[in-house]
Structure 1
């Protein structure tokens, strides 16, 4: 009863539309009170919000969000897309390839997938329409390419995972590089196969002069320098992830004002969006910590591990069940909420099976990345469709071919852990 009633209440409250943070906090408090009594629970409620929010590592989150918002509102993203457009646009499907390339570059500058999808939708979809591209390909490409920001560092998803599991954020960032590039390559493959089968959805654009293509590289150099400072500093060990986030936010402000044409109104809008996103994430983390006290009091994670140990399944079979659960949850729940909600149960279980915590972080991040474009929630599809004035149904039709590539890449990452662990191991030694 101590476990079943609060768990059922949590599902009911989420289905009724209560924000995830409040649902976690309310059910966690009630569950803890049932397990240990109201007086100890009141002590938890008194200390948990401050102790959670005062975690130094969490300061990384608002700084990387601010970095993303500042860059999304300057002309840096537009210059990045223009460069990719000039170099790839003459290929059939080249404007979609340019959107993937620009999204990959933007992902290395910011960890917000929705910011990436919104920025690229405003920039690239009108260009694709002008050259006669089908809206399904245009919006689907932008929506799915925006998810690269949750895998390629700096990634908010990897930061949250590192904080909750006490795993090195720097190692997680390094582990995300190869899977991120592999995911982008999967998107490119899907686009090339799609336009080969249906040439009418992506007419080829004229090839620009070589001098114009070369000149397009020049406006992008500040962004390349910023990537080098942020990721190079983390990978070399010269600065921590938190310090790198501060460098990135300040660098984005300097680049936005000096080279990106960032206006005062856009700067204020970036601050508002940063505050809104940060407050939402911190509220979810605090609610999850309260819920975590309830789970610890009931010993639910330990009992789950003991129960799984009695199942007639090999370790890889149990892992596949966990991955399937993450994929199903991604249909209905926000991705960061899934990570925060489930890790207190799944992380100890997976560690008891002998898997690497860094590799599992990449698998969790990849599955939640897929959830960003799957119906009915599919946040990136809603953002891209809204920013480009397209029907949401068209966006979901456009992402369906890309889901095949997503599952292929996910299968490779599960079957070959070396894809995720090679770079962290190389740098560590």
Structure 2
């Protein structure tokens, strides 16, 4: 079967789908993944066909990004930029979808527009979400933070969150439907049609962190994480192995696609906190550009800077991990069985940070804005010390890792694809 996966956004929004695609290719399917140019090497390394999507966020990051702005004006600007990103994305998705496509697999960020493509081409689709965005009484929508509003309030906030997403996709949906020759319909109308039809949605996170809400409709499933693909024989680079062998397990610090333009300040903060805690460290440069030397590559005796290294290989060798708590990074730390120091920045990150802390596998979250305070070094050092010395944190993290080891998220996607193919008469 010819399958097209669509995924857009940061590394964490895209990389998990390379693991899904590789599993489906292994099952005998012809799989393409449409995403941004920056991830073409990752897609092709997984043995998948690469198709280009525009609006690559890596080419648009500011060189000197300010501290996160939580003001109403800052949020309005964020919404405007998101709408512009979505508008450009619509045309790219249309170009990536060919008449030979037999099944669409839609990521969280591409599903609202992808539904129009499925309708226009008359092909089945399956939505693969990375966050629990459907309304529930169990918790407020992840993008609203970690605070519960009570069961009624949580459900109301969840419905409001969906309406905001619909509004963001309004112009892009109108233009895409016109381009595809479809009659006018709002994103909300199309979404509610899918819900009424009982369309399945698979969620690629672990019930260890978020048990499936009992008030979800039956077609919403939680199947376990989808991990970024890496070669079965992949190993850590020699400089990393040499550093690890030279002393006790270090502490990882990285902020992924967050904090662009903040590298110099954050690097100094991280180094001082690690040394005050008396531990070795590994800094992952990420979009912030963390580094231990002016050229971004120099390594001190006790601290090493690395680029893109698979967390699946690196995290199990750490004594603790300090990060922004994106969904994938939060899960990777838990899978490795090591405690986390959560430093959430924005969006769904406070939600995942709170989940790790509630599980007992993380210290109390330290909001990213706290790293701008005068006592930032002290607070980060104290959290690192707690994460590396607390037996309870290590026991809870190790126990969660054992439970996650029994999950097979990509295998569940493969089963769902086969079932959908049989129902649609697409099997040989």
* The two structures share one fold, judged by TM-score above 0.5: no
TM-score (norm 1): 0.23
Q: Which has a greater percent of helix?
A: 1
- TM-score normalised by length of structure 2: 0.23
Q: Which has the higher strand share?
A: 2
